């Protein structure tokens, strides 16, 4: 190799990206395990995904409160003792609640996994939700909510989802003071018993896996009454708002308006989804997008503006989000619609489309950096019930979609009358 000669520069669109396959196992109790054994460091990530999101709750905030308070204590260990044990081994133990699913995620050195799995088993079988921890949770969240409700962007994020789906739909609901106050230990214990202790679980494991990983996990949870098999999501009726244009006064002393423009959109199973991802990147999906070039670089109305497809399992939404000066909020919205019109009326040129292709391919390459990112890709595919070819279908679309196809998608989906429009000032 002659190091005086620079290697040839290749466009990212020329890369032949591969998604490392997973290994699939089934524990003794039928729980499915998806594993990616990769990486140079002796670290491991184990994620227990339960179908225990807010789609399954019958009372607002029960799902998120139950998930958060899983570490609040067992009959053998206090919340302090649980956290101290995790810290002792240099590990981390996170809980997250989404719309359909909720998860417990352990990051640890691989050698410490046998010491930490018994703790996870204890949390899944013997969480007791002490009253004092529930009160502390209510107090902290009440204070956090009081602060956040003064922020225009926080209020805008809540309200736009409610306009799209209705407050009683899981995608449109949000935390309220009365819901916090109404939480009881009985609510949490009942939800925990049904959706964690006896719930449906899928495991995702990645990193430098020990040779006996199946034996370790079977010993830890293979005899628990957890379930495998398909999931039936509860049916929720969408009640979108009657009006489509809203102006909310929230902070009389504020200098910015939080702008949200959104419409309902099909989920990942729809044939238009792949092309819409490319169109979204062109429209407002990255720093070199048309929205950014127009509204930030040319007009100077905002520090940043983005559009994105919301990450929901059953449905999705196309969202444009920004904060702009109060006096230019309406002009910002007008420019958003102007950019929609250009995409409907004019074909994108090949140079701009190549930039978008390279950005999307480069982003995908970054998402494949390391075993934790790889298992994240597979988790997304598995939980959404997609085929294993989904990743490669997406790559093919990025590389081959034509300007005429993007224009057709813009004419179908980027029509101003289909969007809900909200400004919180």
The label of the residue with tokens 């789609």 reads 55
Please, where in the chain does CATH 3.30.830.10 lie? Answer: 13-221, 245-424
Nearest to 406 by CA among 305, 253, 251, 280: 280
Structure tokens at 80: 């302090």
Which CATH number among 3.30.9.10, 3.40.50.920, 1.20.1050.10, 3.30.830.10 corresponds to the domain 245-424? Answer: 3.30.830.10
Q: Which neighbouring-strand residues pair with 425?
A: none
- In angstroms, what CA-CA distances link 18 with 230, 255, 393, 394? 28, 47, 12, 12
Determine the pLDDT at residue 76: 96
The gap between the terminal CA atoms of the chain, to the nearest Å, is 60
CB-CB contact of 291 with 306 (8 Å): yes
Determine the pLDDT at residue 9: 83
What proportions of the chain, in percent to the nearest 5, are helix, strand and coil? Answer: 45, 20, 35
DSSP string computed for 362-417? HHHHHHTSSHHHHHHHHHHHHHTT--TTHHHHHHHHHHH--HHHHHHHHHHH--GG
Question: Could you report the per-residue pLDDT of 316-331, keeping only the tens digit for each?
Answer: 999 999 999 999 999 9
Write down the pTM of the prediction: 0.93
Structure tokens at 216: 């370790």
Question: Could you report the per-residue pLDDT of 157-179, keeping only the tens digit for each?
Answer: 999 999 999 999 999 999 999 99
Determine the pLDDT at residue 318: 98
Structure tokens at 310: 């919301």
375 contacts: CB under 8 Å, gap ≥ 6: 22, 34, 35, 36, 45, 47, 204, 205, 206
Determine the pLDDT at residue 420: 98
194 phi-psi bin (left φ>0, alpha ψ -120 to 50, beta other): alpha
Determine the pLDDT at residue 2: 87
CB-CB contact of 170 with 55 (8 Å): yes
CATH superfamily of 13-221: Metalloenzyme, LuxS/M16 peptidase-like (3.30.830.10)
Q: Which neighbouring-strand residues pair with 88?
A: none
The label of the residue with tokens 């995790």 reads 86
Q: Which residues of the chain have pLDDT under 70?
A: none
Distance between CA 281 and CA 308 in Å, rounded?
A: 8
Determine the pLDDT at residue 7: 85
Nearest to 310 by CA among 60, 98, 102: 98
CB-CB contact of 110 with 41 (8 Å): no
Determine the pLDDT at residue 296: 97
């Amino acid at each position: 190799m002659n190091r005086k000669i620079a290697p040839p520069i290749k466009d990212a669109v020329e890369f032949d990206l591969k998604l490392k396959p997973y290994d699939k196992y089934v524990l003794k109790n039928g729980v499915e395990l998806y594993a990616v054994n990769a990486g140079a460091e002796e670290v491991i990530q184990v994620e227990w995904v339960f179908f225990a999101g807010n789609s399954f709750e019958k009372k607002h905030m029960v799902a998120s409160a139950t998930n958060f308070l899983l570490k609040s204590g067992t009959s053998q260990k206090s919340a302090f003792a649980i956290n101290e044990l995790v810290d002792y081994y240099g590990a981390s133990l996170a809980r997250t609640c989404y719309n359909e699913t909720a998860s417990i995620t352990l990051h640890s050195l691989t050698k410490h996994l046998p010491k930490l799995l018994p703790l996870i088993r204890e949390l899944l079988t013997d969480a007791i939700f002490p009253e004092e921890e529930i009160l502390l949770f209510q107090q902290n969240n009440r204070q956090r909510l009081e602060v956040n409700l003064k922020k225009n962007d926080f209020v805008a994020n809540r309200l736009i989802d409610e306009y799209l789906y209705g407050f009683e739909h899981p995608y449109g609901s949000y935390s309220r003071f009365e819901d916090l106050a109404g939480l009881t230990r009985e609510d949490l214990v009942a939800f925990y018993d049904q959706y964690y202790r006896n719930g449906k679980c899928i495991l995702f494991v990645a990193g430098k896996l020990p040779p006996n990983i199946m034996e370790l996990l079977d010993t830890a949870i293979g005899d628990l009454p957890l379930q495998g098999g398909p999931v039936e999501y509860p049916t929720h009726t969408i009640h979108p708002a009657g009006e489509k244009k809203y102006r909310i006064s929230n902070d009389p002393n504020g200098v910015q308006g939080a702008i949200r423009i959104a419409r309902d959109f099909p989920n990942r199973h729809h044939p238009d989804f792949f092309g819409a991802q490319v169109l979204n990147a062109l429209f407002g999906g990255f720093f070199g997008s048309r929205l950014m070039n127009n509204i930030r670089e040319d007009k100077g109305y905002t520090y940043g503006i983005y559009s994105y497809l919301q990450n929901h399992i059953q449905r999705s939404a196309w969202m444009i989000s920004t904060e702009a000066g109060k006096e230019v909020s309406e002009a910002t919205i007008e420019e958003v619609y102007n950019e929609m019109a250009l995409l409907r009326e004019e074909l994108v040129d090949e140079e701009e489309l190549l930039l978008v292709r390279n950005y999307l391919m480069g982003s995908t390459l970054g998402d494949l950096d390391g075993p934790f990112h790889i298992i994240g890709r597979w988790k997304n595919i598995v939980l959404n019930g997609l085929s294993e070819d989904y990743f490669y279908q997406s790559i093919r679309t990025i590389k081959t979609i034509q300007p005429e196809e993007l224009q057709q998608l813009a004419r179908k989906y980027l029509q101003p009358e289909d969007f809900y429009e909200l400004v919180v000032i």
